[in-house]
Amino acid sequence: MRALVARLDSFGDVLLAGPAVRAVAARADHVTLLCGPRGAPAARLLPGVDEVLVWEAPWGGFRPPPVDRAEIDALADRIDADTGLILTSFHQSPLPTALLLRLAGVRRLAADSEDYPGSLLDVRHHRAPHAHEAEAALDLAEAAGFPRPDDGRLRVRRPPDTTALTGPGRYVVLHPGAAVPARAWSPGRAAEAVRELTAAGHRVLVTGGPDERELTAYVAGTHGTDLGGRTRAPELAGVLAGAAAVVTGNTAPAHLAAAVGTPVVSLFAPVVPAERWGPYGVPYVLLGDQAAPCAGSRARRCPVPGHPCLDTVTATDVTAAVGKLVGEAS
């Protein structure tokens, strides 16, 4: 059997699809993961994936491209699968992807769908209303005939040794950035946390992407080690795997930390529900006002002056949470 799993969203979304991908891989001879450009680096980290197809769908993402018939035809010609599992978030429809896969000749398709699918789906599943995204994907996989083959936790392929970046010894990682501004702690608060964590005896590494170097340099200051722009996805996995704890918002590194088994201090903006998107399968401490006015809004920029859901969290709160997690792990 040749199977295809579609998850057309971002890096963190693809990581959360990992347990369901392994479920499919346990029964299939070949697994293709269809994902968007932002999810592709995560797709290449997942166990069970034999082939990664990258395509930017016009029905997803922050800046979706226009519909291009030639691109759709070219993608359909590349797809070679007997069965497909379409993974979406609770607020997304799988039906555009289902139509694409039907046109590509995929004979059996399964997805969570509240909308009537007509002939587009063979398995129309209804997800549990409060299920975590990783659990929802596993539930769908089981409904499609792919029971969970293991403990269902997030995993990635063995990350590289990053001691040359981190130096020897224990450390804490603080990742201050986020793809969605509403989910990021303020730089000033993050810089305070680096100073307080250092004063508490922790060595602090500050991570970020190539476009976040100014942010990471500011946050690291003279007390932390600035790794901004120095870690691609595999190296970031290695850095997080070696950490005693990771401090980050509800963004991809929280899920990557969980995938390498590292505890997370989650600065969680409630624009999406923590029950669906919180750190999965590892010890964590959730910080942030989950009843703030922005709760459930899916806002990309904070709609409330002063960003109170996160900026009421202090450096002292974070230092105490790190101490709790590090103490539990020792």
- By the 8 A CB rule, do 149 and 252 touch? no
Residue 321 carries which side chain, given as an amino acid letter? A
Angle 233-241/252-259 helices, nearest 10 degrees?
A: 60
d(CA 208, CA 231): 8
Length of the chain: 330
> E strands along 103-181, which residues?
108-112, 123-125, 172-175
d(CA 44, CA 39): 9
d(CA 22, CA 133): 15
Per-residue confidence (pLDDT) for residue 307, from 0 to 100: 84
pTM equals 0.95
- By the 8 A CB rule, do 146 and 160 touch? no
Find the angle CA(91)-CA(93)-CA(99) to the nearest 5 degrees. Answer: 170
Per-residue confidence (pLDDT) for residue 61, from 0 to 100: 78
Domains within the chain, CATH numbers bracketed? 2-143 (3.40.50.2000), 163-329 (3.40.50.2000)
Per-residue confidence (pLDDT) for residue 329, from 0 to 100: 62
Per-residue confidence (pLDDT) for residue 244, from 0 to 100: 97
d(CA 309, CA 289): 5
pLDDT along the chain (330 residues), means of 10: 96 97 98 97 98 94 90 95 94 94 97 95 94 96 95 96 94 93 90 97 96 96 96 97 97 96 94 92 94 82 84 95 84
Per-residue confidence (pLDDT) for residue 26, from 0 to 100: 97
DSSP string, 185-244: PPHHHHHHHHHHHHHTT--EEE---GGGHHHHHHHHTTTSEE-TT---HHHHHHHHHT-S
